Structure 1
Amino acid sequence: MHVIGAGGHSKVIVDILLESHIQINGVWDENPDLKVFMGYPVRGNFDAFKKVKTDKVIIAIGSNLIRKRISGEIPENTAVAIHPKSAISKYSSIGIGTVIMPNATINAGSIIGVYVIVNTNSSVDHDCNLGDFVHISPQAALGGNVTVGEGTHIGIGASVIQGIKIGKWATIGAGSVVIRDVPDYAVVVGNPGRIIKYNKLT
């Protein structure tokens, strides 16, 4: 497996791969001064990686926008990284490139898009639908039948009640409690959650 990215998020993914007994062939990062990462050689930047013929790659980058950009330049049939201590229903669906951290839970009927992050101790209840490039942060909890649009970030410890629809590229702040639908690009904070501004994608 090749790992793209050598930051904090990548440390967790490398650990998942090791716990899953998946061999790591090298790490790729834009920092030219970084030669070794967690005991594995940093073999070059992303442009150098694109010259390697392999379909065994995981994007280990936390930024949803950067993950989306890189995903268009790597093999389509990329890997998933699922920690063996996560709990995933066999009646759920997990898209390519997705990473699922330790103690995360995904319940029956949920559909997880491509290149999604379901982070440590987060909970995705039954029949949720997470769009591509979503990030569910540690300790966040989604009730049943929640829809989250492409690229949205649900912050640490946020709670979303059942049946809520959250638009694309929105941000739900840490600890927020979402009890109403959220439009595209909205930034929501507080309990109950309220919109304070809108994201501008560049």
Structure 2
Amino acid sequence: MRNKLLIIGASGQGKVVADVALKMNKWKSIGFLDDDENVESSMGIEVVGKSCDTFKYFQDCDIFVGIGNNAVRKLIQEKLEAEGANIPILIHPSAVIGEKVELSPGTVLMAGVVINCCTTIGRGCIINTGATIDHDNIIEDYVHISPGVNLAGTVRIGQGTWLGIGSTVSNNLNITCECKIGAGAVVVRDITEPGTYVGVPARRV
């Protein structure tokens, strides 16, 4: 871990990422990189350059991708990893993490998250405010789990899937890659085909 952290993206997701990083109290300084020339600071944190400037800071800074879009986050993080960037894991101090939980670089756990034992979280995941993930889950890379989502035990979420706010997944289920689960949806059977699913029970639209 380096003494400085740079967050790519200074808007909504980047702000919450910065808030987590500040509360971790592990970096002497935190800055943003953002391509909007009209944004000079966010949350009182300076925007020090554009995303294309990232490679100038590799030797001195940890780099974190604070972008909510799964596909964009994946593209940027994979490029950073290929170039040898040091990408941390961010964990809000109020998060509760069970035994034998594995977290991967570029993942952020927001305030109030609960992850129970023997769960694996992939690279570049967003586990948002108050989400709960029970035992023996597998969350693949670049998944976005929105605020208030509840996953029961032994659930697998495929790469790039987005679970909307307040959605629920029952136990022993698999959701394939690149799905969108609507706000408040309840998944009660395996989802094997990519697409958008809404309702109670969740159905493809």
Give the Cα–Cα distance (whole angstroms) in 2 for the partners of residues 81 and 5 of structure 1.
15
Give the Cα–Cα distance (whole angstroms) in 1 for the partners of residues 56 and 198 of structure 2.
43
The code of the aligned residue for 2:189 comes to R
What is the TM-score with the length of structure 2 in the denominator?
A: 0.92
Give the Cα–Cα distance (whole angstroms) in 2 for the partners of residues 79 and 6 of structure 1.
18
State the match for 2:69 in structure 1.
63
State the match for 1:200 in structure 2.
none
Give the Cα–Cα distance (whole angstroms) in 1 for the partners of residues 186 and 87 of structure 2.
34
Deviation at 1:45, TM superposition (A): 1.0
5+ residue gaps, structure 2: none
Q: What do the CA deviations read for 1:168-202 (whole angstroms, capped 9, x no partner)?
A: 01010000000011124221100011011xxxxxx
Cα RMSD (Å) of the superposition?
Answer: 1.2
Whether 1:27 aligns to 2:16 is: no
State the match for 1:150 in structure 2.
159
State the match for 1:42 in structure 2.
47
Give the Cα–Cα distance (whole angstroms) in 2 for the partners of residues 160 and 66 of structure 1.
25
5+ residue gaps, structure 1: 197-202
Q: Secondary structure at the match of 1:68?
A: helix
State the match for 1:168 in structure 2.
177
Q: What do the CA deviations read for 1:110-155 (whole angstroms, capped 9, x no partner)?
A: 0000000100000100000000000111000000000000000011
Q: Percent identity?
A: 35
Deviation at 1:32, TM superposition (A): 1.1
* Aligned residues between the structures: 196
Asked if the contact 1:116/1:135 (under 8 Å) is kept, the reply is: yes
What is the TM-score with the length of structure 1 in the denominator?
A: 0.93
Give the Cα–Cα distance (whole angstroms) in 1 for the partners of residues 193 and 68 of structure 2.
20
The code of the aligned residue for 1:35 comes to E
